Amino acid sequence: MLERDMKAIVLTGPCEASEMKVSEIPVPTARPGWILVKIHAAGLNHSEALLRMFEIENDYICKPIVPGIECVGEVEDPSDSGLAKGDKVVALMGGMGRSFNGSYAEYALLPSSNVFKVNTDLSWIELAAVPETYFTAYGSLTECLLLQKGDVLLIRGATSTVGLAAIQIAKALGARVIASSRRDSSFEKLKSVGADYCVVDDGNLAAQMTAELRPNKVLELIGPATLGDSLRCVSHPGYVCNTGILGNKFTVPAFDPIKYIPNGVFLTGFFSNFPTQEAIDGILRLLEASGRKPLYSKVFSLEEIAQAHTLLEKGGAGGKIILSIR
């Protein structure tokens, strides 16, 4: 019998990580177009720390709100979706944790368009590392950069969760990978994941690029803070995909595309708000075919949310942080 109440993390305004705690709220009821998912695990994301710290003050955030933009679990009530109770699913984006309650809870009521059935032997914890992180990396590389075998890819911000996933996916697709990090102490880990070359990112990587070490494609995860330099790194023709904002600079001031983008260089960007079944299936097939497992670093219970968010905000987890919910 379905419980009437569930454990959840509820935010009403900005707060410190240490102030986060478990509450009891009603289990939502399925309705047409929405699926009730019993959540087993959820990956944490940088954007959720930003939500907690300041984004929640914006009018477009529904309040009170259960954070969390992704989860894995099983269908509790399929409503009119065509799925069946007990189906293994992943869910992500589409307003989760912003426009409606997200995944920091035992159950979530989610739009059918953002819930995807999966067939995999991965554990719940392993699978929880996939949805947002691997979809972002996969979409950036395949849809935006059109990555192919033989390409030379520079991943800027490679020690991030998306960066590490991108190394795995790029190698599975047959590319050579240059991984950047602010510290050479990260090189061993980056190479263990699959990077062919590592460079220390001092903000001026263009000066380090040589004829032998010049990418034709760049995945920019730091964002506008280093985007201009990334555009100068690539060969001509070259492609740069801006996906991340890890540098906490969100726009390019006085952006003049004619002067900012070098001749022969193509600038694109990836927005992960529109996942598809095809992409989710493609990610899992690629990981399985290449013998790679999703990467994660730390696992916390829902009751340990304060510790989990403290680490998320501080950084240094060395990979994806997972909430094990049930």
Spatial neighbors of 215 by CB under 8 A, at least 6 apart, are 151, 152, 153, 154, 178, 209, 233, 234, 235, 238
User: What pLDDT band is residue 107 in, cutting at 50, 70 and 90?
Assistant: very high
Same domain flag for 125 and 245: no
The average pLDDT across 112-123 equals 97
For residues 146 and 232, give the distance between their C-alpha atoms in angstroms, rounded to a whole number.
Answer: 19
Answer yes or no: is 17 within a domain: yes
Cβ-contact 216, 235 below 8 angstroms:
yes
Q: How many CB atoms lie within 10 A of CB 212?
A: 6
In this structure, what are the phi and psi dihedrals at residue 79, rounded to the nearest 5 degrees?
Answer: 50, -130
Same domain flag for 141 and 255: yes
Same domain flag for 51 and 125: yes
Residue 11's CATH number: 3.90.180.10
Answer yes or no: is 229 within a domain: yes
User: What pLDDT band is residue 317 in, cutting at 50, 70 and 90?
Assistant: confident
Tens digits of residue pLDDT in 175-188: 999 999 999 999 99
Same domain flag for 157 and 100: no
Same domain flag for 82 and 155: no
Same domain flag for 89 and 163: no
pLDDT score of 205: 94
Q: Which of 272, 315, 325 is nearest to 127 (CA)?
A: 325
Answer yes or no: is 150 within a domain: yes
Answer yes or no: is 284 within a domain: no
Answer yes or no: is 76 within a domain: yes
Structural domain containing residue 166: 133-269
For residues 100 and 169, give the distance between their C-alpha atoms in angstroms, rounded to a whole number.
Answer: 31
Last residue of a domain, one of 254, 269, 284: 269
246-267 b/e (C-beta count within 10 Å ≥ 16 → b)? bbeeeeeeeeeeeeebeeebbb
Same domain flag for 152 and 115: no
Domain count, the chain: 2
Residue 152's CATH number: 3.40.50.720
Answer yes or no: is 283 within a domain: no
Beta-strand relationship, 88-92 and 152-156: unpaired
Same domain flag for 137 and 221: yes
pLDDT score of 1: 57
Give the CB-side neighbour count of residue 280, counting CA atoms within 13 A. 26
Element of type H or E holding 92 = strand 88-92
Tokens of 234: 């690539």
* Residue 95 burial (10 A CB sphere; 0-12, 13-18, 19+): middle
Tens digits of residue pLDDT in 225-252: 999 999 999 999 999 999 998 888 889 9
Same domain flag for 265 and 153: yes
Q: Is 111 helix (H, G, I), strand (E, B) or coil?
A: strand
pLDDT reading at 211 higher than 90: no
The average pLDDT across 274-297 equals 96
Same domain flag for 147 and 77: no
Same domain flag for 159 and 125: no
**If you average pLDDT over every residue of the chain, what do you get?**
95
Overall pTM > 0.85? yes
Same domain flag for 125 and 66: yes
pLDDT score of 283: 97
Spatial neighbors of 68 by CB under 8 A, at least 6 apart, are 9, 42, 48, 96, 97, 102, 103, 104, 105, 108, 323
Answer yes or no: is 275 within a domain: no
Answer yes or no: is 281 within a domain: no
> Position 230: which residue type?
S
For residues 181 and 195, give the distance between their C-alpha atoms in angstroms, rounded to a whole number.
Answer: 12
